[in-house]
Amino acid sequence: MGGGTSLSSHRAGFGVFRSKAISKSTAQSAFAGLVNCSDNAITTQTASARNDSTSCHCEERSDVAIAKPIKCDSKRKKAAFTLAEVLITLAIIGIVAALTIPTLIQNYQERAWNTASQVFQRKLGEALRVMNVQGTLAGYTTTEAFVDELSKHIKITRICDNDDITTCFSDTVTWGDEEVDMSKVKKAKNFGQNDWDTNTVAVQFANGVNGVIAYNPDCRQNQFSNDVITVGETGIGTTCLAILYDVDGFKNPNTQQKDLRGLNVASLGGSNCAIELSDGTCFTAPFIPTPHVWNACDTNGTTSDPDDLAFMSKYGLQYCMYSPYGKNDYWAGAVKTCKDMGSSLPSQEQLTALANELYDAPISGATTSYEYANRDNDLAVSMGFISSPSDSLWLWSSEEDSKYAAYGRHFYSTTTYWYHNYRYYSHFQAVCLAE
C-alpha cells in the first residue's frame, strides 16, 4: 500500500510537471495561432478591450475527456461594407446633394447681392453726407453737373451720357415681369419722377457697381443736419437723386430684387410693379418722398392761400400741415408722388399684407398695437427698402389723421405696429400701389 501511495504521488507530481510543460507549449502555439491543450483542458479565447485582438489560453476542465487542437485566431475579423452598400450610399448622397446644393447656392448668391447692395448704399451715403456738409449737394440744374461733383467723393471710373447709356450699363434688364431696353431710359420721368425734368447719366463705380442716375433740381441740403439724406444705419435716403444700380455690373441676371436695385425708382419702362406679394398685391419700388411745402397753414390745419387750397383739392387732403418744426410735409409729398402716377399710397390692410411677407409669424391686423415676430431683413433689402437688422423700416399709408399726423406702419426687426406719425418726419419711406 505504501508503494501504491508513492506511485500515485509520483504520478500526481508528474502530472503537474506535464501540465506546466504543456502550458509553455501552449503559449508558444498561441503565439503561432494554434493551441494544443491537455486532455483535461479546453482552449478559450478572450477579447481584448484595449485593442482589436484576441488572446488564447488553456482552461483545465474536469468534465472534458479529450480536447482536440483548436485553431485560435489571434486577430479579430473586421467588418466591411459590400459593394452594393457602398453604391446605395453614394446614390443617396447624390440625390440629397442634387436637392439641396442648388438651394444653398441660390441662398448664398442672394446674400451676396444683399451685402453688396448694403455696402454700396453705405459708400454712396457717406459721399452724399460729405457733400451735404460741404454745401455741394444741392443747387444743380442738370444730372451731369451733379455727377461731376459726386465723382469727387466716390470713385467713378466712367461716365456715359443718356445717348450712350449701354456703354456703362446693361443693354436690357428685368424690372418686375417686364424686360426693359435701357437705351430708352434717357429722362428722370423714365424712373417715374415726372416733375424733375432732367436727363439720366450712366456711371461705372470703381467697386464694380454700374448705375444710372437722375438728379432732382429741387434737392435740399442742410449743412447742420444729415437728416436730409440719412435713413437707417447702412443705407441712404435722399430726395436729391434717383439711382438704378446693378451690384454685379454687366453680369447676369440683371433682375430687380436680385442684382438690380433702385432708390427712388418708382417705375422703369412701362412697368411699375416692383414688389409683388403672394396674395397678388403689387407695389412700386420704395422711395423717399419729396416734401410738399405749405405756404400759409394756420394752427387749425386750414389755409386761405390759393396754392395751398389748390394742392389740397387736387390731392384730396383734409388738412394742411401745421407744425412749429417747419413747413415740410413728407406725407403730403408721398401722396403727391403716388397720385401723379395715377395711383395711391397703400391702406392699413395692404401694409399688413406686406408685414405678413416680411415677418416669420402671422400679423393679425392693421390696427393691432404691437405684434412680435422676426423680420426677414434680407427680403426687405432685396425689395429695395433701406434697412439694417437693428433699425426701423417705416412706411406711410394713405390715411390722414390730423393737421399734425398721418398713419403708417413701423417694421422693426422684432416687432411691427400701426401708429399715427408726424407728417414732417423725413425718415419715412413710401411705396405706391402698382398694377
E strands, 238-336, in order:
241-246, 260-263, 275-276, 282-283, 292-293, 328-329
Straight-line distance from the first to the last Cα atom of the chain, in angstroms, rounded to the nearest whole number: 126
- Can you give the pTM of this predicted structure? 0.64
Predicted local distance difference test score (pLDDT) of residue 23: 44
The Cα–Cα gap between 74 and 52 comes to 10
Three cell numbers, residue 333: 409729398
- In angstroms, the CA 259 to CA 111 distance is 10
Cβ neighbours, 10 Å, residue 414? 11
Give the position of cell 431683413. 377
Q: Identify the pLDDT of residue 42.
A: 53
pLDDT means per 10 residues in the chain (435 residues)? Answer: 43 40 42 49 51 53 49 57 88 85 77 89 89 91 96 96 95 89 92 90 96 92 68 58 94 90 84 85 89 94 95 96 90 94 92 94 80 90 71 90 94 91 90 88
Angstrom distances, CA of residue 312 to CA of 289, 299, 342, 432 = 17, 16, 16, 19
Taking CA 242 as the corner, what is the angle to CA 240 and CA 245, rounded to the nearest 5 degrees? 135
User: Which H or E run includes 30?
Assistant: helix 2-32
User: What confidence score (pLDDT) does residue 31 get?
Assistant: 42
| Domain ranges within the chain, ordered by starting residue | 2-71, 89-260, 292-422
**Residue 258 one-letter amino acid:** K
SS3 (DSSP) at 102: helix
| Chain center to CA of 391 | 15
DSSP string, 218-249: T----TT-STTTEETTTEE--SSEEEEEETTT
**pLDDT value of residue 370:** 87
Query: Cα-flanking dihedrals φ and ψ of residue 352, to 5°?
Result: -65, -40
DSSP state string for 104-133: HHHHHHHHHHHHHHHHHHHHHHHHHHHHHH
Residue-level pLDDT at 9: 41
CA distances 347 to 332, 354, 355, Å, are 15, 11, 12
User: What pLDDT score was predicted for residue 434?
Assistant: 87
- 341 φ, ψ (degrees, to nearest 5): -90, 0
How many angstroms separate the CA atoms of 335 and 431, rounded? 10
8 Å CB contact between 210 and 160:
no
**How far does CA 206 lie from the centroid of its chain?**
24
Q: What are phi and psi of 167, to 5 degrees?
A: -75, -30
Give pLDDT, residue 354: 95
Residue ranges of alpha helices (H) inside 186-321 are 306-315
The residue assigned the cell 504543456 is: 22
